[in-house]
């Protein structure tokens, strides 16, 4: 099956389920941070877990792009090389002061979402996958905005 052939509904449903399951930690942690408040004893730990989860998922998205780049011939060498950037930036962002980490991660998710949108619009990825990426990008960005409110 090529990247462009439609998967069966079972595969699409599984992709949606797994994608939404990956969003649950974002939602739970963002709500926990917002509701507990910055002075709560668990705030620092929840914040660390949120930013690490965020960096892991950003790296995972880069891995998805790596897979797309090598899935068909001719290989997309440029996209293959660029696909490692989310992992590098996610790691670097974890080294920033906490005040900048969430904002930087939010921007990186937005940029990655735009990058995916362009890729989808070029017809290099099936539209059903594009729907997942667009919706999840907005949800993840919303979780980061909620965390920004929690730390301010």
Other CB atoms within 10 Å distance of the CB of residue 43: 16
- pLDDT tens column, 135-147: 999 999 999 999 9
Query: How is residue 113 written in tokens?
Result: 């979402």
Q: Are 72 and 114 in contact (CB under 8 A)?
A: no
Q: Is the pTM of this model over 0.75?
A: yes
| Tens digits of residue pLDDT in 74-123 | 888 888 999 999 999 999 999 999 889 999 999 999 999 999 888 888 88
CA–CA gap between residue 130 and residue 118 (Å, rounded)? 10
Question: What's the rounded Cα separation, in Å, for the pair 129 and 9?
Answer: 12
* Domain ranges, ordered by start, for the chain: 22-151
Report H helices in 37-82: 43-71, 77-82
């Amino acid at each position: 099956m090529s990247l462009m052939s439609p998967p069966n509904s079972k595969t699409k449903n599984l992709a949606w389920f797994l994608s939404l399951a990956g969003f649950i930690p974002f939602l739970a942690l963002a709500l926990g941070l917002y509701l507990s408040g910055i002075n709560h004893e668990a705030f620092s730990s929840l914040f660390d877990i949120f930013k690490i989860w965020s960096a892991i998922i950003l790296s995972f998205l880069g891995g998805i792009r790596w897979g797309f780049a090598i899935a068909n011939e001719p290989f997309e060498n440029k996209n293959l090389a660029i696909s490692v950037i989310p992992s590098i930036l996610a790691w670097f962002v974890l080294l920033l002061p906490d005040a900048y980490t969430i904002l930087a991660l939010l921007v990186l998710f937005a940029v990655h979402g735009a990058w995916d949108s362009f890729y989808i619009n070029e017809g290099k990825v099936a539209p059903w996958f594009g729907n997942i990426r667009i919706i999840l990008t907005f949800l993840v960005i919303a979780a980061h905005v909620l965390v920004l409110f929690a730390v301010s």
